[in-house]
Amino acid sequence: MNFQQLRSVRETARRGFNLTEVAQVLHTSQPGVSRQIRELETELGIEIFVRAGKRLTGLTPPGETVLPIVERLLQEADNLKRAGDDYAAQGKGTLVIAATHSQARYALPTAVRDFRAMHPNVQLRLHQGSPKQVAELLLEGEADLGVATALIATYPELVALPCYRWTHSVIVPAGHELAEEAARGVPLTLERLAEFALITYEPGYTGRSQIDEAFTQRGLVLDLVLSAMDADVIKTYVELGMGVGIIAAMAWDEQRDPGLRAIDARHLFATNMTHVGLRRGAYLRDYVYDFIRTFASPLDRAHVERAMAAPVGTVVEP
């Protein structure tokens, strides 16, 4: 039994049983992948995959039992290498962060700056994507930590640490009738908002589900003329007069957005929670703990370690 056999099994399951893709990921040939799988199956005395001719189509019942063990063995091997690197590198290394667009643009910059001052020899890499993509990068071991909304808390393989709550704002051009009503103290209602063409996030991004749910519960139609992944794009089209925007409140800044006005919408849409996500069982280098503490001060090392050790579904308070 060797690690290449284990990697072949893991990647075959991850890549939808497409051995061509597996071979590309592992930098080998398709016959080589097939041979590695067959050798492991022979050694274990079981068939891991269901076959239809030469194609693999799924996991056998023994394969479903074996795959989580293979995942754990490879994760522990990776942990062993990280632990060795941690002691050998003496403060050097790479920190890979996966984050949604809004978190990367508005929530992380201060933490990244402060962390860089603390660890000048650590290279930072930032991957941006949807909450689902952030979770997938963590699950595949491609990121050390993720920053996203509550979706990552639904994955049992991940530890999700609550960081802070945030709300939405409605944005309009200066002089817009909604801005004038807000200035006179007239409360904004969903019914009033539904009278306008709206611009907001794509499904799966930055609390979009909370927005859809609020309209649905009131039996109102969301007249969506444009959706985008990024708040800066939304603000651009609001300034052009294409519609009224709904964005994360942290994405509006009076100095950066002088042509826009923001109206507090926390009473219209449910509050959102940002989490730091970690792969359960992963070895965390010292500077990963430091970054988490820099980003969310209540999440010190002791709290993170308790959360990583806690059973799935357990909420560990700071």
Which residue type does 132 have?
K
Q: Is the backbone of residue 11 left (phi > 0), alpha (psi -120 to 50) or beta?
A: alpha
Report whether pLDDT(90) > 70: no
Per-residue pLDDT tens over the stretch 290-299: 999 999 999 9
Which DSSP symbol is given to 105?
I
Per-residue pLDDT tens over the stretch 94-153: 999 999 999 999 999 999 999 999 999 999 999 999 889 999 999 988 999 999 987 888
Round to whole Å and give the CA distance between 67 and 6. Answer: 9
Report whether pLDDT(226) > 60: yes
Helix (H, G, I), strand (E, B) or coil at 178: helix
Round to whole Å and give the CA distance between 249 and 104. Answer: 15
282 vs 82, higher pLDDT: 282
Q: Which range, of 46-50, 78-82, 244-248, averages the lowest pLDDT?
A: 78-82
Report whether pLDDT(88) > 60: no
pLDDT of residue 77: 82
pLDDT of residue 141: 87
Tokens of 19: 């051995």
pLDDT of residue 79: 73
Q: Which range, of 73-87, 164-178, 265-279, 302-316, averages the lowest pLDDT?
A: 73-87
Per-residue pLDDT tens over the stretch 185-196: 999 999 999 999
Q: What is the mean pLDDT of the chain?
A: 91
Q: Averaged over 9-28, what is the pLDDT? A: 90
pLDDT of residue 116: 94
Report whether pLDDT(313) > 80: no
pLDDT of residue 150: 75
Number of Cβ within a 10 Å radius of residue 143? 26
Q: In what order do the strands lie in the sheet with 168-173?
A: 224-228, 198-201, 244-248, 168-173, 260-264
Torsion sign across C-alpha atoms 200, 203, 209, 215? positive
pLDDT of residue 89: 61
